Amino acid sequence: MLVTLIIVCEVGFWVLLALGLSLRYLAKRPRAGVAVLLCEPLLEVVLLVVSAVDLRNGAEPDWKHGLAAVYIGFTVTHGHYMIKWADGHVAHRFAGGPPPVKPPKYGMARALHEWRMSLRAIFGAGIAAALLQCAVWYVGDAGQTASLQAWQGKMGIVAAVSLIIAVGYTIWPKQAPAGARSEHERAG
């Protein structure tokens, strides 16, 4: 049941996003669109409550509870970013808005972008790890929480890899091709 709910939450995220943006730009009802978009966090609250109730009712903690915590953590840190990204594209396509700003491709600007994305991933992993720790305390039986603690280790790996990527872009920034650099220099 928990895996089904995670899938329903993911599908629900995209359905609410499409509905909210459709109301905002196609139906010309921006307030209604914002109201629908503000319902997005309710999906994670429902998932959190159902996970806690499942554990309270005696379910043995396993990978499904870990996946639910990870889903919640990453939705908290990446959900707004995805909504803003989609909003920019829909506004441009259907409402005459400016073209969405693309992430920088080269140099330190790209490194800064990678740091922002890495921090998002690190915070998502941290939220997931904290939720997992709360579940460990909630269950209280060290013999039953090995699966949850394994997910915490995976979140540590996610955080480390994200940090390595950001450091890599900082130490070895991606350079623009020679033609692109000369065009940029002419524009400046």
> Picking from 49-58, 79-88, 145-154, 179-188, which range would have the lowest pLDDT averaged per residue?
179-188
Q: What is the mean pLDDT of residues 2-17?
A: 95
Q: What is the mean pLDDT of residues 128-138?
A: 95
Band (pLDDT 50/70/90 cuts) for residue 183 is very low
Paired tokens of 125: 């992993």
User: Is residue 129 within 8 Å of 152, Cβ to Cβ?
Assistant: yes
Band (pLDDT 50/70/90 cuts) for residue 181 is low
**How far is 12 from 94, CA to CA, in rounded Å?**
23
For the chain, the straight-line distance linking the first and the last C-alpha, in angstroms and rounded, comes to: 57
Q: What is the mean pLDDT of residues 11-22?
A: 97
Paired tokens of 180: 């692109």
Q: What is the pTM of this model?
A: 0.87
- Which string of b and e fits 19-51 if b means at least 16 CB within 10 Å? bbbbbbbeeeeeeebeebbeebeebbeebbebb
pLDDT of residue 180: 66
Is the pLDDT assigned to residue 186 strictly greater than 50? no
